[in-house]
């Protein structure tokens, strides 16, 4: 089974805004970005489409016009809790110190750990495999896709932010029943 993960397009938010679960608006460039994605996917068909409930993902999934979209909350971005909607520059080192030392196992205040994000995505993958979808498309967020890349490369989640991942970019991975994501096919 080949799984294609597509990151949402650019958002209309101040530079440096901390947003994960926060439902931010799409940038004015949305239509152009969507057209580029459609051109890239001209010869690609998908058996199923899944999307995060965040409007930045759901709208793109629906506007691709590739079929019915199934919404799954396990595809949401990392929950930054009390930091949501704040500028990263306003979060002091005293507030973020423990989290930045180990973002995988420590959560922002009232938020979630990156390990928790990876577990909920792994749970989604197990259900997806059970559905026997031969070629699903998942429209989601950077954090989820980065976790998938780490799984595919069998790397620690601590290395998740070593890979560049632009808005509107996609990656295709091979999905196996018991191991989850096993290898990166193309980016």
pLDDT for 47 equals 87
Q: In the CATH hierarchy, which top-level class contains the domain 2-186?
A: alpha beta
pLDDT for 179 equals 46
**Domain extents for the chain?**
2-186
CA distance 67 to 1: 19
Which pairs from 8-13 meet CB under 8 Å and 24+ separation? Answer: 8/52, 8/54, 8/56, 8/57, 8/60, 8/139, 8/140, 8/141, 8/167, 8/168, 9/33, 9/34, 9/37, 9/56, 9/60, 9/167, 9/168, 10/167, 10/168, 11/56, 11/167
Residue 137 has what DSSP assignment? E
Q: Reduce the DSSP state of residue 49 to 3 states and report it.
A: strand
CB-CB contact of 19 with 80 (8 Å): yes
Residue ranges in the chain modelled with pLDDT below 50: 179, 182-185, 187
């Amino acid at each position: 089974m080949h799984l294609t993960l597509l990151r949402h397009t650019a958002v209309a938010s101040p530079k440096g805004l901390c947003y994960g679960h926060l439902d931010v608006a799409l940038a004015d460039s949305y239509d152009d970005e969507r057209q580029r994605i459609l051109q890239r996917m001209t010869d690609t068909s998908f058996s199923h489409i899944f999307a995060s409930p965040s409007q930045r993902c759901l709208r793109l999934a629906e506007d691709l016009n590739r079929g019915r979209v199934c919404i799954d909350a396990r595809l949401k971005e990392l929950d930054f809790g009390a930091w949501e909607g704040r500028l990263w520059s306003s979060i002091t080192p005293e507030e973020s110190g423990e989290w930045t030392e180990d973002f995988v196992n420590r959560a922002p205040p009232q938020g979630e750990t990156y390990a928790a994000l990876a577990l909920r995505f792994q749970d989604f993958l197990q259900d997806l495999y059970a559905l026997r979808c031969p070629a699903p498309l998942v429209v989601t967020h950077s954090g989820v896709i980065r976790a998938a890349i780490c799984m595919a490369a069998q790397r620690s989640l601590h290395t998740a932010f070593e890979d560049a991942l632009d808005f509107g970019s996609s990656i295709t991975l091979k999905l196996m029943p018991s191991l989850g994501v096993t290898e990166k096919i193309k980016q």
